[in-house]
Amino acid sequence: MDNITEEIETKEYDINIFGFWVYLMTDLVIFAVLFACFVVLRDSTYGGLTSSQLFRVPPALAETLLLLTSSFTCSLGTLAIRRKQKSAAMIWFGVTFALGVAFLSLECVEFSKFITVGATPSRSAFLSSFFTLVGTHGLHITCGLLWMVVSMFHIGLRPLSPQSISKIFRMAFFWHFLDFVWIFIFTVVYGMGIL
């Protein structure tokens, strides 16, 4: 009976890992399409503000540094999980969460500044593609933060079983994926937009 239970758990684990990779690949396709739309539409301002008039390096750089630092602290959290150090993991994931919230706050401030000067998504195809791309990333960050909170509850309230460790590692990998996407946003949207 124990062998059958272990075999069922192994199959469920394999299906969950496969499902996570399928999800991540579909997310990659979504972001690729959004990037392609932005690149094609970035000059379609319809007489409105252009990217060089809107974008500034310091806020975008601050957001980038926040996310890169959060990726580092998330790695320290997963390292603590690997070593079964629950309190250290809680601290590092807490710091990662705070950095993610700071990132989202800066992004909301940026969006509100754009909207205040009339640079709304309905103003031009350029702004529509910008808000869609960056907003989709922000939505994913929000989901990642919620997943992180759930993972922190699991760490604090449950023993670290192989399945729970796998879930935490998938959450951390998702967070790193979002950092990777942001590097492209910083380069393609802000870097090329300021030039």
pLDDT, average across residues 52-76: 94
Domain residue ranges in the chain: 2-194
Cβ(39)–Cβ(188) under 8 Å? yes
Cβ(166)–Cβ(13) under 8 Å? yes
Token pair in block for residue 179:
């950092």
Q: What is the pLDDT of residues 180-191, one digit of tens each?
A: 999 999 999 998
- Is residue 106's pLDDT more than 90? yes
* pLDDT confidence of residue 158: 85
Confidence of residue 162 (pLDDT cuts 50, 70, 90): confident
Would you mind telling me the total number of residues written for the chain in this entry?
195
Phi, psi of 188 (to 5 degrees): -75, -45
User: Per-residue DSSP letters for 35-54?
Assistant: HHHHHHHTT--TTS--HHHH
Percent of the chain residues past pLDDT 90, beyond the cut: 74
* pLDDT confidence of residue 91: 97
If you average pLDDT over every residue of the chain, what do you get?
91
**Contacts for 18 with CB less than 8 Å, ≥ 6 apart:** none
Fold type of domain 2-194: Four Helix Bundle (Hemerythrin (Met), subunit A) (1.20.120)
Cα–Cα distance for residue pair 41/183, rounded to 1 Å: 20
Q: How far is Cα of residue 69 from the mean position of the Cα atoms in its chain?
A: 13
Cα–Cα distance for residue pair 183/15, rounded to 1 Å: 30
Percent of the chain residues past pLDDT 70, beyond the cut: 92
